[in-house]
Amino acid sequence: MTMHKSDSFAALVQRFTDRNADYYARAFDRIANTGGFALTFNLWAGLLGPFWLGARSLWAAFWVVFAVEILAVVLICIGLFGDLGGEAIARADRLAAQAADRMEAAEAAIAEGSTLGESMKSSAEAIAAAAERARAEAEADRARAPAHVLTGAALFLGVRLAVATLANAGLAARFRRWQGNHDLPHGLPVARACFAAGLVLACYPLAAYRFATTNAPDWLTVFPAATEFRYAISVGIDGGVAAIADNFSIFFSGITAVINGALDLMETCLVVTPWPIVMIAILSIALQVSGPRVAIFSGAALAYLAVLGFWEKSMATVALLGTAAFLCVLIGIPVGVWCGRKPRAYAFLRPVLDFMQTMPAFVYLIPVIAFFGIGKPPGIVATLVFGMPPVIRLTALGIAGVPETIREAATSFGASPRFLLFKVDLPLAMPSIMTGINQTLLMCLSMVVIASLIGAKGLGEDVLSALQYAAVGQGILAGLAILMCAMVLDRIVQGRN
């Protein structure tokens, strides 16, 4: 039985390593039977370094060794061939020439009896002293050349020694993973070995050439960008945006009218209504929905806004971005439910959501202004673009995470699709959906300053003004007011949960 196991192990090692199977079988057996770290030494791994690691598919270690060795090669080449102190020498020559000219002018002024002669001479002497300091700095830099070489050599040899010492352990760990999944790359295929060798042979000389020469060629330091092509594309985009704005102006006007209607309703409730009624309503809702602790916190936050004179602007901000958050939730939850039930739809929308979240807000403000102009509606549209992805993603995640066994049980008892959605899927996905609403609320309120750039006003206007005039206190107080609005909204929306 022992012989059979040994033969089976040797066959597996032979299949995994392809070459030197006997050596690796002994190394793997020693590593497996050692309680702690088993000290082994792989000579070929130490000699070949990253080439061996890449050929053996140990890519995580490959990139670490690759980066360290490039640094070592660069240090060695700088020490041997680099112009250490070259910039300091050039600066010293410029200063010396300037000092000579200034001294000549000073001597001429002294000869003429000018009162400026002595001051010009002192200036020339100061410039000459700076030139001497630059030369001393250059000599010190050149004196460090052997240290660069020794550091690079020690780094190179040290990483190769580490590779030789740890290579078998890393390959043994990969062998254990391969035993559970034979689809993992193994053996020594020529293509993989050539790829690893190509990376090393191409990148090491290029890095050495770049840092070892004073004047590296432009093809190595500057990417050959096609600026004319970029200009042509930008002109085409300008024309396309202008055409869309002209041909679909009625559509954009309709969206603006809808947003203005919702915004006017919110502003009537929060801004036009007398402040005691608004404050009492908010505190009552907080008490009923979230409990006394949130009500007390809301009262303190509202007192901060009122006492420091932020009440009107805070209510205008909540009306503006509350409208945006409401529209985000109104659109985002149905889209998230659809994505959670249709993986293909989610796969299609995922790049769009990535674009909406990662594109800087200042970039998509440009087409928003082109389509909607400036003012509050375009600020809401920009906030929609930025704030909608979280609620879509987390709603889709929650719906997709509903156990199929529960849905099947509900279906077997005669549940209709509508019952299944509202009584099974949404309640079970509610924690994830509420997290998405929380993130959307906070992201919408984080847009308040950017929205103020296009005329949205509110608290963002105070922060923007403080930024322009470096008014630190005003900016901090207005920022805290935005924070208070966000926290009160979030605590009330989240409820007692």
- Comparing CA positions, the residue from 367, 372, 437, 364 lying closest to residue 398 is 437
Measured between alpha carbons, how far is 489 from 491 in angstroms, rounded to an integer? 6
**Residue matched to tokens 């002595």:** 118
Please tell me what DSSP assigns to residue 35.
S
- Comparing CA positions, the residue from 435, 440, 432 lying closest to residue 383 is 440
Tell me, what's the pLDDT at 4? 41
Tell me, what's the pLDDT at 3? 38
Measured between alpha carbons, how far is 156 from 135 in angstroms, rounded to an integer? 32
Tell me, what's the pLDDT at 66? 95
Please tell me what DSSP assigns to residue 435.
H
Measured between alpha carbons, how far is 125 from 3 in angstroms, rounded to an integer? 89
Measured between alpha carbons, how far is 458 from 305 in angstroms, rounded to an integer? 13
Q: How far is CA 220 from CA 63, 68, 196, 339, in A?
A: 22, 21, 22, 46
Tell me, what's the pLDDT at 7? 52
Q: Which two three-digit tokens encode residue 117?
A: 């002669």
pLDDT tens-digit series, residues 280-309: 998 998 898 888 888 999 999 999 988 888
Walk along the chain (497 residues) and give the pLDDT tens digit of each residue.
343 445 588 888 888 988 888 899 989 988 888 877 788 899 999 999 999 999 999 999 999 999 999 999 999 988 888 777 777 788 888 888 888 888 888 888 888 777 777 788 888 888 888 888 888 888 887 888 889 899 999 999 999 999 999 999 999 999 999 988 888 888 888 999 999 999 999 999 988 888 877 777 777 777 777 778 888 888 888 888 888 888 888 888 888 888 888 888 888 888 888 888 988 998 998 898 888 888 999 999 999 988 888 888 888 888 888 888 888 999 999 999 999 988 899 999 999 998 888 887 778 788 888 888 888 888 888 888 888 999 999 999 999 888 888 888 888 888 888 888 888 888 899 989 988 988 888 888 778 777 777 777 778 888 888 877 778 888 888 888 888 888 888 888 877 65
The answer for residues whose C-beta is within 8 angstroms of residue 386's C-beta and 6 or more apart is 356, 357, 361, 443, 444, 447
CA angle, residues 222, 228, 232, in degrees to nearest 5: 140
Q: How far is CA 262 from CA 269, 315, 440, in A?
A: 11, 15, 18
Q: Which two three-digit tokens encode residue 405?
A: 């066994």
Q: Which two three-digit tokens encode residue 95?
A: 């200063």
Measured between alpha carbons, how far is 222 from 135 in angstroms, rounded to an integer? 31
How many CB atoms neighbour CB 429 within 10 A? 24
CB 385 within 8 A of CB 356: yes
How many CB atoms neighbour CB 495 within 10 A? 13
How many CB atoms neighbour CB 348 within 10 A? 11
- Comparing CA positions, the residue from 184, 196, 189 lying closest to residue 19 is 189
CB 175 within 8 A of CB 13: yes
The answer for residues whose C-beta is within 8 angstroms of residue 135's C-beta and 6 or more apart is 88, 89, 92
Q: Which amino acid appears at position 495 of this protein?
A: G
Measured between alpha carbons, how far is 223 from 263 in angstroms, rounded to an integer? 49
For residue 291, which phi and psi values (nearest 5 degrees)?
Answer: 105, 175
Measured between alpha carbons, how far is 367 from 382 in angstroms, rounded to an integer? 10
Q: Which two three-digit tokens encode residue 13?
A: 């090692």
Tell me, what's the pLDDT at 45? 93
How many CB atoms neighbour CB 145 within 10 A? 16
The answer for residues whose C-beta is within 8 angstroms of residue 72's C-beta and 6 or more apart is 152, 153, 155, 156, 159
Measured between alpha carbons, how far is 438 from 430 in angstroms, rounded to an integer? 12
Q: How many CA atoms lie within 13 A of 98 on its CB side?
A: 14
Helices 275-290 and 292-307, axial angle in degrees (round to 10) = 160
